[in-house]
């Protein structure tokens, strides 16, 4: 497996560019998902790969990318997968274990939900995959996870695909001690970090963890 991170840049409306410029590491591989290439250009990043049906990119940009040696992977508009799903498949096939999906939140609620549920793709199991927009990170927990943060930051734990059981938390203001969360109940919303590290483990089910970086949490 490849040790580098793959940054997959989507065309979502929530994209905190200053924060994402600081987020990038020198050896990150940039994969733009169709119109996400516009975010790359505004960030000053040249993508290594552009994937999609290219309905959101002008011929001028496509020509520029081609001249710069960017790999262009074009797919037909009528397909079963979204462009993001194709980009995730590409990253997995290339052997990336650490994948960050940038600018995939905000805008159309159906697209945002689809992007979040893509975290449950079987090919992503045991990989480190997170959605990140500079203000919020989202990732799945199916056994245990640790992450870094700042005391006071908001963390929500939402069960996906059914009930989540045997949940234990550390570093959060409202602890869970072997308890159960239900998808139709809101108990896991708006917890709070009390340390610089938090940990969650569970015995059954899947949790969607949404971590709001400093001063971005909501009620």
Mean pLDDT across 143-160: 95
Q: Assess whether pLDDT exceeds 60 at residue 156.
A: yes
Choose the weakest-confidence range: 55-69, 89-103, 148-162, 193-207: 55-69
**Confidence check: pLDDT of 151 > 60:** yes
The C-alpha atoms of residue 214 and residue 1 are separated, in whole angstroms, by 33
In degrees and rounded to multiples of 5, residue 17 shows phi and psi of -65, -40
Q: Which residue has the tokens 């037909």?
A: 76
Q: What is the CA radius of gyration of the chain?
A: 18
Cα–Cα distance between 98 and 95 in angstroms, integer?
9
Instruction: Using pLDDT thresholds of 50, 70 and 90, give the confidence band for residue 130.
Output: very high
Answer whether residue 25 shows pLDDT above 70: yes
| Separation between Cα atoms, residue 10 and residue 210, nearest integer Å | 18
CB 86 within 8 A of CB 70: no
pTM, full prediction: 0.88
At 159 the three-state DSSP class reads strand
Token pair recorded at residue 75: 């797919």
pLDDT band for position 99 (50/70/90)? very high
What are the tens digits of pLDDT across the range 40-79?
988 889 999 999 888 888 888 888 888 899 999 999 877 8
Rounded to whole angstroms, how far apart are CA atoms 30 and 100? 10
Reduced to 3 DSSP states, what percent helix, strand and coil does the chain have, rounded to the nearest 5? 25, 40, 40
pLDDT at 215 over 60: no
pLDDT tens by residue, 161-180: 999 999 999 999 999 999 99
Q: How far apart are CA 87 and CA 70, in angstroms?
A: 15
Residue in the structure block whose two tokens are 């949490």: 217
- The yes-or-no verdict on residue 143 having pLDDT over 60 is yes
What domains does the chain contain, in order, with CATH numbers? 2-134 (3.40.50.10240), 141-212 (2.60.120.320)
Q: How far apart are CA 14 and CA 188, in angstroms?
A: 24
Q: What pLDDT score was predicted for residue 137?
A: 93
Q: How confident is the model at residue 217 (pLDDT cuts 50, 70, 90)?
A: very low
**What is the pLDDT confidence band of residue 140, given thresholds at 50, 70 and 90?**
very high
Task: Please report, to the nearest 10 degrees, the dihedral formed by the alpha carbons of residues 21, 24, 25, 28 taken in order.
Answer: -140
Q: Examine the pLDDT at 107 and tell me if it is beyond 90.
A: no
pLDDT at position 1 is 65
Terminal C-alpha separation, the chain: 40
Check pLDDT > 50 for residue 216: no
The predicted pLDDT at position 133 comes to 85
């Amino acid at each position: 497996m490849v040790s580098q991170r793959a940054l997959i840049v989507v065309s979502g409306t929530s994209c905190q560019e200053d924060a994402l410029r600081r987020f990038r590491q020198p050896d990150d591989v940039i994969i733009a998902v169709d119109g996400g290439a516009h975010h790359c250009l505004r960030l000053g990043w040249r993508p290594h790969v552009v994937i999609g049906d290219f309905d959101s990119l002008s011929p001028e940009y496509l020509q520029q990318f081609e001249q710069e040696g960017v790999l262009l992977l074009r797919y037909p508009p009528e397909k079963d997968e979204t462009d993001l799903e194709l980009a995730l498949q590409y990253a997995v096939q290339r052997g990336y274990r650490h994948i960050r999906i940038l600018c995939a939140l905000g805008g159309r609620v159906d697209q945002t939900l689809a992007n979040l549920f893509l975290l449950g793709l079987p090919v992503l199991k045991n990989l480190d995959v997170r959605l990140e927009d500079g203000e919020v990170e989202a990732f799945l927990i199916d056994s245990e996870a640790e992450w870094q943060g700042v005391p006071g930051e908001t963390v929500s734990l939402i069960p996906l695909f059914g009930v989540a059981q045997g949940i234990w938390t550390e570093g959060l203001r409202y602890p869970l001690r072997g308890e159960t969360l239900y998808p139709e109940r809101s108990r896991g919303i708006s917890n709070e970090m009390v340390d610089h590290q938090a940990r969650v483990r569970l015995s059954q089910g899947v949790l969607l963890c949404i971590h709001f970086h400093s001063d971005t949490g909501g009620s």
